[in-house]
Chain A
Amino acid sequence: MSEVRLQVQNLCKSFGITKAVQNVSFNVNKGEVHALIGENGSGKSTLTNMLTGIYTIDSGHFILDGKEIHPKNQVEANNEGVSIIVQELGTLSGLTVAENIFLGHEERFVKYGIKNTRAMNKEAQQLLNKYGFNRIRAGAMVDEYNFEDRKLVEIVKATYFTPKIVVIDETTTALSQEGREELYKHMNRIREEGNTVIFISHDLPEVLRMSDTITILRDGVYIDTVKSADVTEDDLKRLMVGREVTGDYYRSDYGEKVSDEVVFSVRNVSVPGQISDISFDLHKGEILGFGGLSESGMHEIGKACFGASFDRSGSVTLADGTSIDSIPKAIKHSIAYTSKDRDNESVVMNQSIGDNICLPSLDDLRSVLFFLSKSKMKQFANEHAAEMSVKMVNTNQFVSDLSGGNKQKVVLARWIGKDSDILVLDSPTRGIDIKVKQDIYQLMDRMRKQGKSIIMISEELMELIGMCDRIYIMKDGKINGELHRDPDLDENALIAQMV
């Protein structure tokens, strides 16, 4: 049988009042891809962040190949043979590709106190070539590359020294299909070399396809470790949520006729370097999807519809001809927007849940003249937070304390409170667990039935297929194809037009 590589023993970690990881113990073997799954806030990332020295351990042990390790930072973790690829950008702007790859290990190229840049670049380029990333130049600034390519640089950075354990923390949600395949290839390679991958992902089909063993966490507590071959997606969902996931996941209707009434028109919209000559109509009660690779310009369409694009040309108008060219104007005319960049553009992080929900509706929450009514605000916030079942202590709690799914619920509560008629949802379920995803899908379905119109921009093809009446596929800043709701529609039909 396979040998044990890492023993996790009685691990605990608290953040203030939140017990993020409670007494977790399990083993990870050599030569396997070991998936770590659980809903948001179940403690997956906390656990791996302790392993890689980003967080300190409260109590418990990590035993790697029989020796206890307690790295204080990522470089120390690297020296112990542990590396990590993170969800968001993990490369540093302002440094070259080579400097990023060897960050913290520059001493290899230093002689008499002087860094030999040429030797560093040369070795970095050899590594890049070995990985098949020839088009990335080691001496170039990492800023010159897009998100996907920078992720590839991170793969090299995290794996070139054949570490014993590579942690891949929800990296795939940020990657396009191509990027994912590239990552999968390297995960398999690491396994074949007899080393270990700890793989964190919300995408259960991906977890089942890629991993050998799966450990499930729930609310910081260890639930079970199972062999991937022995379980189904539904088993995993049940273990994660702690009960049967019942009812419809996506919307279930097919063949319903969408109203002919156009509520929102986009004509010849271009944003330099992002999108060019985009035109479409949104109908009453319609869910219109935009899919494509992350760089296809689809995210910019959301911003353009919300008056948030810088340097936009063309027209964005409502049915009555009102032109939407600024955010306040969009909000005034009942348009709502959730950004892909939730932490920066959707929620005001260091502010209370209540204020976040009330922000666009303050004018409706006055008592007399321009004085706000604290009781109206409180009632408003409580009502809509409850409607979205936000998991919180009370509305005075800061948004920064919440998990990704709950942050998104706060954003949605804000727009439900504003009673917006047109919702532009960019990546509404990004990095969110199944239970909340289901809530959001059901909410979208209810809104659609109430006659509200939704533009849904997503990198997850399955949810586009499951939710949308029509799907536009974007490629290189242009609309490349249009697909209609159909039970037989599958991912391949979409991918064919994406690349």
Chain B
Amino acid sequence: MAEQKSNAAVSKDEALKRQSNISLIRSLLPIIGLVVVFIIFNILTKGGMLQNLSMVMTQIYVTMIAATGVFFIMTMGGLDFSQGSILGMASIVVCMVSKVAPVPVAVLAGIATGAGIGAINGFFYVNRKIKSFIVTICTMFLFRGIIKYLTSGAPVGANATMILLNKDQLKLTCTLVVVVIGFVAFHFTKFGIHLRAIGAGEKAAKFAGIHTDRMKFLIYVLAGAITGFAAFINVIKVGSVTASGGNQLETQILIALVLGGMPISGGAKARFMNVIVGSLLYIVLTSGLIMMGLTTQAMQLIQGVVFLVFVAIFADRESLKVIK
């Protein structure tokens, strides 16, 4: 009997080891994928990607900054489809304000715009108890409509001083600041644990003393504000906003996070690494495909396929039903 028990214990340890190995491989897979994809594209383009690295990198900043906010939302089990419209709206505000006020004021105005739209999302999600994807799809259309109205005559241009700021160094610094603050807050303060707890079991989180409703509302405001900040980077890069400004940012973010290994239903398995690796992988993948000569139309097709495949492989079906 005793021997049997120790045998069982040994096999349990082995099985546990195997399971932790599997989860380690799972968490490393996006990083391995990033390296592999990077190498493959460099071979296919004969080193073209390495030579144009700074051009590739310019595309990453907005996505990575905005993905940080959406990452928080998804960790607590929500979704946000209004990110593209938030970026477009905030970009228009940044452009307009930049013509009449100094740059820092324009940046703050962009952040306030994003936070305002986030607050609308949060209000309907938390107070009116409507599922987040429905609320944010509504605000996506609503603000896209306003963007189209505002840009119907001509694109909204920014003050020339803004365009002079278009330096990699500034953009990189801004991105790093957001990502580092996000990383530290998520992994080293109770903010992250509370978010994960809400994603993993909202009711129980509430009974453990977390202000779940307040938290959910503030996270939408925060995600809006972060994207509002990203609008500043967007404006100095593009100089003016058209009707399609910020279009499809939400899908880019969603694909990037899923590529980075983010569980689509959020919860305790979310890691901030998902944001960084996912955004990099997404940009390498898209710019690689463009360098290979694919048209934008074909790009969307491929993105759709890649997204579907990743979700199908990595989705934790047990917890999918908790998407709020």
Contact = CB atoms under 8 A, between A and B. Distances in A.
B208 A348 contact: yes
Please tell me the size bucket of the interface on A.
20 to 34
A112 interface: no
Contacts of A328: 209-211
Interface stretch (B12-20, B60-68, B140-148, B225-233): B12-20
B201 A355 contact: no
Interface stretch (B119-127, B190-198, B245-253, B301-309): B190-198
7 contacts: A16-B19, A17-B16, A337-B207, A347-B204, A348-B201, A350-B267, A362-B190
B207 A308 contact: yes
Contacts of B8: 19
Interface in B9-58: 12, 15-16, 19
B193 A362 contact: yes
Interface in B170-194: 184, 188-190, 193
A339 B193 CA distance: 21
B189 A371 contact: yes
A269 interface: no
Interface in B249-305: 267-269
B207 A350 contact: no
A372 B203 contact: no
Interface string A311-347: 0000000000000000110111000010100001111
Nearest to B209: A331
Contacts, number: 86
A398 B12 CA distance: 16
A348 B190 contact: no
Interface of A: 16-17, 19, 306, 308, 327-328, 330-332, 337, 339, 344-352, 355-356, 358-360, 362-363, 370-372, 393, 398, 414
Nearest to A329: B209
Contact of B201 (A306, A351, A362): A351
B200 interface: yes
Instruction: Enumerate the 5 nearest inter-chain pairs by beta-carbon distance, A residue then B residue, closest first.
Output: A17-B15, A348-B201, A350-B200, A331-B209, A362-B190
B193 A327 contact: no
B-side interface mostly: helix
Contacts of A332: 209
B208 A414 contact: yes
B205 interface: yes
B319 interface: yes
B204 A345 contact: yes
Contacts of B184: 371
Contact of A360 (B12, B203, B209, B267): B209
B206 interface: yes
Interface of B: 8, 12, 15-16, 19, 184, 188-190, 193, 196-197, 199-201, 203-211, 267-269, 319
A332 B209 CA distance: 9
Nearest to A355: B193
A356 B209 CA distance: 12
A350 B189 contact: no
Contacts of A345: 203-204, 207
Contacts of B193: 355, 358-359, 362, 372
Nearest to B15: A17
Given A351-B268, A370-B190, A359 B203 contact: no
Nearest to B208: A359
A358 B194 CA distance: 11
B189 A344 contact: no
Contact of B200 (A16, A306, A346, A348): A348
A404 to B, nearest CB: 15
A350 to B, nearest CB: 4
A359 B200 CA distance: 13
The residue in A306, A344, A362, A414 that gathers the most chain B C-beta atoms within 10 A of its C-beta is: A362
Contacts of A348: 197, 200-201, 204-205, 208, 268
Contacts of A346: 204, 207
B190 A355 contact: no
A410 B311 CA distance: 33
B91 to A, nearest CB: 33
Contacts of A362: 190, 193
Given A16-B15, A17-B15, A352 B207 contact: no
A349 B203 contact: no
B9 to A, nearest CB: 11
Contact of B189 (A19, A331, A372): A372
B196 A360 contact: no
A354 to B, nearest CB: 10
Given A327-B207, A349-B201, A352-B268, 10 more contacts: A347-B201, A348-B201, A348-B204, A349-B200, A350-B200, A350-B201, A350-B269, A355-B197, A358-B193, A359-B209
The residue in A17, A328, A352, A393 that gathers the most chain B C-beta atoms within 10 A of its C-beta is: A17
Contacts of B189: 370-372
Contacts of A363: 190
B204 A393 contact: no
